[in-house]
Amino acid sequence: MLRLATALALMIGTPALAQAYKERLPQDEVIYFLLPDRFENGDTANDRGGLKGGALRTGFDPTAKGFYHGGDLKGLTRRLDYIQALGATAIWVGPVFKNKAVQGGPGHQSAGYHGYWITDFTQVDPHLGSNADFKALVDQAHAKGMKVYMDIIVNHTADVIQYRECGGVVDCTYRSRADYPYQRRGGVNGAAINPGFEGDQVQTTENFARLTDPSYAYTPFVPPAERNVKVPAWLNDPLFYHNRGNTTFVDESSTTGDFVGLDDLMTENPRVVQGMIDIFGDWIDRYGVDGFRIDTARHVNPEFWQAFVPAMRARAQARGIPNFHIFGEVAYESLDVGMLAKHTVVDKLPGVLDFATRQAILQAVTAKQEPMAWDKLTLGDSLYAGGYATAIQLPTFVSNHDAGRLAFYVRKALPQASDDEVLARVKLAHAMLLTLRGVPTLYSGDEQGFVGDGNDQDSREDMFASKVAVYNDNRLLGTAKTTATASFGRDHPLFREIAELSRLRTRTPALTRGTQTLRARSDAPGLLALSRFDPDTGAEVLLAFNSSTQPITRQVEIGTGATTAATLVGKGCAARVSAPGSITVTLPALGYAVCALKVPR
């Protein structure tokens, strides 16, 4: 089937893989996302990051889901062939920057294995290797024609700054600008401070020069042992942080509150803006990375992105990277496309992670679809800045390290479903992911049938042999093995399906760069059909999915010029049209078909 699919795809257009990797557009890629600590251990000497002592000092405990397990950049580099065999053309690497090894109060400690608790923005975390190891990863990926996207953070650093009023408690209640204005210490009745400071919405160097005392809401301080722990050195000054306590994730606090105790950078300050431009521009200059995924992007003020994004694109252009891909994490668990799109309009982010498509696919394969879900999704593309031209380069996904794995939610929604049915539903979801518009983004382990126990730490299993009991007791899909042994085989049914669909996609311009038209849909489980069109020839590729547990036969509208069809993958479009503009589609339960429509010359 794979050979046939490849041959037919080549008839439709020029393979995207034949292009030099720098020339590929963002929408030409299939992205593979991983956390280095959970992927492969290539060097056991760095497991403890050069630190001495137990787990609460080094952060290393391969038996605990919230600590370092030993994966590193050397291990990832050695597994590039595995990722490429899956059909991925770009790798999104979880944050590699040096982290605070352990955070949290007594009994609640965990480690920075995930990479989001940064202390040094200029070097690789020693648990993951060295800057030289990162360079080797990028160079070897490029040599294979693969891109490397860095996961970056500008919203916050590690939790270093403390507040005297909190007595060491992490959960410090947010204190608003109205109740705790910048020109008073500790509330409206406090002593006058910061005379002439006009607030963080006047984002000029002159205004921020008047902000000299950070004790307007809380009294921040840095413990002596950590006074110089952050790099670059300017990050050690509390003046460059909001210092207002924990965000409630709504209203004002969404951009000015601490993210679960993490030190929230005052990204309104021009010094912080330039500092972050310098930091991340240097990673582009030194290593030639191909893009950034931006963590917690919705929790940063729009003006920051309006300055940061053009600066990064300019640095990439100067480095000879014409298609630098930037996309932000703006997490909304809904089909409200407008909530996503506003960040491309107001913040002027080039792209965002497409949570709405994830929601539509999840609803479809769990038989819990909301009314007109696919209409909302496809019509919503016009809301993005630039419309469909932006929508087509949004990374789409069904699982990730924060939201959890698709298979977990399928099992949760359908507890009576057999493992075979759950596997079929997960395969259907990946067929949607790899053929619909956007940039399909695969989460490491999904291709091996990983299920997880929920989100966050419960969905961050090891690809190498795991020692975590709550991972190893999971019942995987499509295999009798567990995560207690390495998971890099290439014979898993999900691996084979994803590899086949990935290669079909990257060789079929209609599926990478083509426009998309909704052909048929239902609020109940049943047929979903869409057409994708080759941007150069106009050739139509029909996508048909059956989300019901019964076979279906339906007429589907197509372009009037087509007379025959060839099924590229799955089954089953009729070989000939029923009439001009209509074709019979017969799909098995939870089945799908991708069909090339032929117009006689």
Half-sphere exposure of 95 (CA within 13 A, CB side): 27
Q: Catalytic residue at 295?
A: yes
Token output for 240: 């460059």
Whether residue 353 contacts residue 329, with contact meaning beta carbons closer than 8 Å, is answered with yes
CA distance 308 to 316: 12
CA distance 383 to 336: 11
Looking at 29, 61, 295, 347, which residue is catalytic? 295
Helix/strand/coil (H/E/C) assignment for every residue in 330-379: CCCCCCCHHHHHHHHHCCCCCCECEHHHHHHHHHHHCCCCCCCHHHHHHH
* Count of C-beta atoms within a 10 Å radius of residue 40: 24
CA distance 168 to 156: 19
Phi/psi of residue 148, nearest 5 degrees: -130, 120
User: Which of 490, 539, 481 has the alpha carbon at shortest distance from 513?
Assistant: 539
Q: Cα-atom radius of gyration of the chain, to the nearest Å?
A: 25
User: Which of 434, 270, 460, 430 has the alpha carbon at shortest distance from 362?
Assistant: 430
Task: Give the DSSP H or E segment for 428.
Answer: helix 419-433
CA distance 309 to 291: 11
DSSP string computed for 14-48: --GGGS-GGGS-GGG--EEEE-GGGT--S-GGGTT
Looking at 263, 329, 347, 381, which residue is catalytic? 329
Q: How many helices (H) and strands (E) does the chain have?
A: 18, 20
Token output for 65: 């889901």
* Count of C-beta atoms within a 10 Å radius of residue 282: 14
CA distance 226 to 233: 12
Q: Mention every residue, 6+ apart, whose C-beta is less than 8 A from residue 93.
A: 34, 36, 76, 137, 148, 149, 150, 151
Q: Which amino acid is at 320?
A: G
Whether residue 524 contacts residue 503, with contact meaning beta carbons closer than 8 Å, is answered with no
Q: Which residues are catalytic?
A: 295, 329
